[in-house]
Amino acid sequence: MLLFAGCTDSARDEAAAAAAALREALSELRGDVRSTLDDVGEQIEGLDDRYRSASDEVAATWSDTRAELEEYRQRLEADLAELETAGEEEAERLKRSMAADLEQITERVERARLESIERGDEFVSASQERIAQLDGDLQSLEGEVASLSAEARTEAAETMEEFRDRAGELERKLDDLVDATAEEIAEQRNDISQALSSLTASVRRELFEMRQAVTE
């Protein structure tokens, strides 16, 4: 009888510890998402200022993008509210949903930032700076990968290699444009903006998901 009681107490302690660990992990998740949303809000305000003096056509494009960003932000706010009382399975669903929405937000904000740069040479410089910042993100990601299991590290290494390849290709294209004419830069701006914003968003999502996996 005493043995049975001891087992019951042990199971109760394990359940309590698991619940506490989940609450801590969800608290960190909410903090990460809230911090990202605050940063996005600041970036949107900066883009509002940039696009205020743009042509009607360009300003209209930003207006559409801004409306999309607001929809994503509202969805994230709703997910954060649900996360307050979510159980483990529901938290996993919300985590995947938020990671996807954050990726979409990052891609749209990054592309809008690049497209707001009028001069070709300034666009090239800004894109090169973003590549350099991405290198820092990739180094942080490599640090997170080191904390994973052997099997997970193998899969993550393949993703890292893909990111490095994409970044290297963009870096070479931008190096070729350093002394290019305005017309030559204009021909490649759209493709570079799309590729760079997509890569930035993918890397940031992977880093977000990796950090959540490590804290679980």
Write the pLDDT tens digit of every residue in 140-174. 888 888 877 788 788 888 999 999 999 999 999 99
Given a contact cutoff of 8 angstroms between Cβ atoms, the answer to whether 20 and 27 are in contact is no
Distance CA 206, CA 103 (A): 9
Question: Percentage of the chain with pLDDT > 70?
Answer: 88
Average pLDDT over residues 190-203: 97
Q: What is the radius of gyration, based on Cα positions, of the chain?
A: 22
Q: What is the pLDDT of residues 59-83, one digit of tens each?
A: 888 999 999 999 999 999 999 999 8
The reported pTM is 0.85
Three-state SS at 54: coil
Domains of the chain by residue range: 1-116, 118-216
Burial of 76 per CB tally in 10 Å (0-12, 13-18, 19+): buried
Q: How far is CA 86 from CA 24, 90, 100, 152, 211, in A?
A: 13, 6, 18, 26, 20
Report which of residues 58 and 118 the model is more confident about. 118
pLDDT for residue 4: 56
Q: What is the pLDDT of residues 99-109, one digit of tens each?
A: 999 999 999 99
In sign, the C-alpha dihedral spanning 155, 158, 164, 170 is negative
